[in-house]
Chains A and B, each alone.
Chain A
Amino acid sequence: MSNTEWPLWEVFIRSKQGLDHKHVGSLHAADAQMAIENARDVYTRRMEGVSIWVVESQYVHASNPAEAGALYDPANDKAYRHPTFYNLPDKVKHM
């Protein structure tokens, strides 16, 4: 086995001009340039992308799934944030 593994990179692809970059997977590469080239070969063989972002995985910070309840709970009881919360007469148009 060789000395060290190349770092892991997360790959994000914009599938079409005007859309967000979306996470598609990860790969190993020695540096950012190689990560982009490998991402092109691995994730865009069928024109799945017009733009690629790569981020070294160690720099991604994530929320803890065990705390998901507490983290998102406060949003649950605020139905008034949604337009359907408001009852308006049918004759009101364009709203």
Chain B
Amino acid sequence: MSRNTEVFVIGGGPAGLSAAIVAAELGAQTLLVDDSAKLGGQLIKQTHRFFGSSNRDAGIRGISIADKLCEDVKNLKDRLCVLENTAAVGFYSNNEAGILSQNAYERVSYQRAIVCTGATENSLAFENNDLPGVYGAGGVQTLMNVHGIRPGQKILMIGSGNIGLIVSYQLIQAGVDVVGLVEGLPTIGGYLVHASKIRRLGVPIYTSHTILSALGETQVEGATLCQVDDRFRPIPNTEFDVECDCICLAVGLTPLIDLFQQAKCRMVHIGELGGLVPLHDSSMKTTNPEIFVAGDASGIEEATTAILGGRIAGARAYESLYGSNDKVEQIVAEAKEELKTLRSGSTGERIRWGRERVLQEVGAC
């Protein structure tokens, strides 16, 4: 079977939902596919109140933001078709892509595609890291917040970025004992308000430490930690053991980019954005003029910025088919203004730097 659409959006997280909503609102026939059972991407696991700008949902729980976006999607059902449990598996030439649902493979011909596939979790090398009981933070969140299952009784968290800090807090809320949080750098990576929140509930934060090995024969029974010097080298004779039945890795995300490579988009490696990302201009258009990108796939950032990037991509994809109008320009101008404010200040420095590099590289090619 095959389907036809004007705009084809891959990934139903905040970026893809926003891109699809804007493209359909403006008038384009739009198809949105997501490979999970429920739309929302990372948001459906986020039971905490979001930081960010209050004119873009901050202070609201992530899951409620997903509900709001899904409501908008429903209201657009005339022009916006949604397929859940459906993965985009490849791009072909002639503006065709393959999608795979639970029992069927189909081809989609599209005029513009917006790829919002999000990110995958990084792992970490240490002895015994293949023991049952070693999880990624995303897996822990899915078990706990989507399926209501505790991953263990006593958990050790690795990584002090916002994900490590927030998932630790959610674990405590689920009644799990968080025995400690380990960070290789001398300082906490995520927002300090999130760190103080778990510290005051008694979670020790081991900065300048690393995990040497997981302990146990058939499952995690503990971990050996040690101090590290300023070049992350273990300091001898500082080893100590902690007891736990679960080790959770929150050591960063990498953009999920296979589809861009298939679509022959030029890629660039930018550490500040999480690794390889498709080159794109300020319209979120990649070097393949039919393919746009938004969200974590364009560089690891946040839900608020994913929503705004998605809105720009949706509007520009529409524009490239039908030409511009006041509404397109207004959506883009508003989103750009909000992005600028969100990325200002000292915590936005790395992202600003990474984003500027992408734009420079695009200009150079």
The reply to whether chain A is a binding partner of chain B is no
